[in-house]
Chain A
Amino acid sequence: MEKSDKYGKRSLSDFLRYRKDDLTGKERNAFEKELQKDPFAEEAAEGFSSVTDKEVLQDLSSLRRKLDKRTGKRSATIPYRIAAALAILVAISVIFYNKNNIQEPSISKNEPEKAKIPMEIAVSEPIIDKTEVKTDTVSINKPVPEPFKPSVATSEAERLAVNTRDIKETDRIVETNDEKAVAKDSELPFKDLASVSSKSDYLAKHEEADKKMEVSNVAGAAAPMAAKSRAAIESTAPQPLNGIDSFKVYIENNLVNPHPENTGEEVVIITFIVRTDSSIADLKVIESPGQEYSKEAKRLLRNGPVWKPATVNGNAVEEQYRLQIRFK
Chain B
Amino acid sequence: MLFKIPSRRQSGTDEELINEFTLTGDLDALGELYSGYMHLVYGVCLKYLKDRDEASDAVMQIFEKLIDDIPKQKIENFRSWLHVVTKNYCLMQLRSQKTKNEKLEEWINDPATFMEYNHVLHPIDEDKSEIDKNLDECIDILKVEQKRCIRSFYYENKCYKEIASELDLDENKVKSHLQNAKRNLKICLEEKNGEIR
Chain A bound to chain B: yes
Q: Is the CB of A4 within 8 A of B79?
A: yes
* Minimal beta-carbon separation of B157 from chain A (angstroms): 5
Chain A residues whose CB sits within 8 angstroms of the CB of B4 once the complex forms: 239, 243-245
User: Please, how many angstroms separate the alpha-carbon atoms of A152 and B30 in the complex?
Assistant: 56
Q: Is the CB of A68 within 8 A of B5?
A: yes
Which among B36, B42, B83, B159 has the greatest number of chain A C-beta atoms within 10 A? Answer: B159
Does residue A71 face the partner (Cβ distance < 8 Å to B)? Answer: yes
Among A12, A37, A48, the residue within 8 A (CB) of B121 is A37
Given A4-B78, A15-B43, A40-B153 contact (CB < 8 Å): no
Chain A residues whose CB sits within 8 angstroms of the CB of B83 once the complex forms: 39-40, 43
Which among A25, A40, A132, A133 has the greatest number of chain B C-beta atoms within 10 A? Answer: A40
Among B27, B43, B153, the residue within 8 A (CB) of A45 is B43
Q: Is the CB of B37 within 8 A of A71?
A: no
* Minimal beta-carbon separation of B143 from chain A (angstroms): 19
- Measured CB to CB, the nearest residue on chain A to B1 is A132
* Minimal beta-carbon separation of A278 from chain B (angstroms): 14
Q: Is the CB of B1 within 8 A of A44?
A: no
Chain B residues whose CB sits within 8 angstroms of the CB of A44 once the complex forms: 39-44, 46-47
Chain B residues whose CB sits within 8 angstroms of the CB of A74 once the complex forms: 27
Per-residue contact bits, chain A 17-32, to B (CB 8 Å; 1 contact, 0 not): 0000000011111101
Number of interface residues of A (CB under 8 A): 55
Q: Is the CB of B153 within 8 A of A29?
A: yes
- Measured CB to CB, the nearest residue on chain A to B52 is A59
- Measured CB to CB, the nearest residue on chain B to A30 is B157
Q: Is the CB of B47 within 8 A of A63?
A: no
Q: Is the CB of B52 within 8 A of A55?
A: yes
Chain B residues whose CB sits within 8 angstroms of the CB of A3 once the complex forms: 77, 79-80, 119, 121
User: Please, how many angstroms separate the alpha-carbon atoms of A3 and B35 in the complex?
Assistant: 19
Q: Is the CB of B11 within 8 A of A60?
A: no
Q: Is the CB of A63 within 8 A of B44?
A: no
Among B34, B46, B158, B161, the residue within 8 A (CB) of A67 is B34
- Measured CB to CB, the nearest residue on chain A to B115 is A39
Q: Is the CB of B47 within 8 A of A28?
A: no
Among A51, A66, A132, A242, the residue within 8 A (CB) of B60 is A66
Per-residue contact bits, chain B 108-138, to A (CB 8 Å; 1 contact, 0 not): 0000000000010110010000000000000
Chain B residues whose CB sits within 8 angstroms of the CB of A129 once the complex forms: 2-3
Q: Is the CB of A46 within 8 A of B47?
A: yes
User: Please, how many angstroms separate the alpha-carbon atoms of A217 and B76 in the complex?
Assistant: 47
Query: Chain A's interface: helix, strand, loop or mixed, by majority?
Result: helix
Query: Chain B's interface: helix, strand, loop or mixed, by majority?
Result: helix
Chain B residues whose CB sits within 8 angstroms of the CB of A26 once the complex forms: 157, 159
Given A44-B39, A71-B27, A33-B153 contact (CB < 8 Å): yes
Does residue A5 face the partner (Cβ distance < 8 Å to B)? Answer: yes
- Measured CB to CB, the nearest residue on chain B to A78 is B7
Does residue B101 face the partner (Cβ distance < 8 Å to A)? Answer: no
Among B1, B2, B56, B153, the residue within 8 A (CB) of A63 is B56
Per-residue contact bits, chain B 141-166, to A (CB 8 Å; 1 contact, 0 not): 00000000000011001111110000
Does residue B178 face the partner (Cβ distance < 8 Å to A)? Answer: yes
Does residue A79 face the partner (Cβ distance < 8 Å to B)? Answer: no
Chain A residues whose CB sits within 8 angstroms of the CB of B178 once the complex forms: 36
Given A70-B63, A75-B27, A32-B39 contact (CB < 8 Å): no
Which among B2, B43, B52 has the greatest number of chain A C-beta atoms within 10 A? Answer: B43
Per-residue contact bits, chain B 55-92, to A (CB 8 Å; 1 contact, 0 not): 11001100100000000000011111011001100000
Does residue B50 face the partner (Cβ distance < 8 Å to A)? Answer: yes
Chain B residues whose CB sits within 8 angstroms of the CB of A36 once the complex forms: 122, 125, 178, 182
Which among B14, B39, B63 has the greatest number of chain A C-beta atoms within 10 A? Answer: B39
- Measured CB to CB, the nearest residue on chain A to B77 is A1
Please list 5 pairs of residues, one from A and one from B, whose beta carbons are closer than 8 Å in the complex, sorted by A's number: A50-B50, A63-B42, A67-B34, A74-B27, A75-B27
Q: Report B's interface with A, CB cutoff 8 A.
A: 1-5, 7, 11, 13-14, 26-28, 30-31, 34-48, 50, 52, 55-56, 59-60, 63, 76-80, 82-83, 86-87, 119, 121-122, 125, 153-154, 157-162, 178, 182
Given contact pairs A1-B119, A70-B60, a sample of 10 additional A-B residue pairs in the complex whose CB atoms are under 8 Å apart: A25-B159, A33-B154, A40-B40, A44-B44, A59-B52, A60-B38, A63-B56, A63-B60, A70-B27, A71-B31
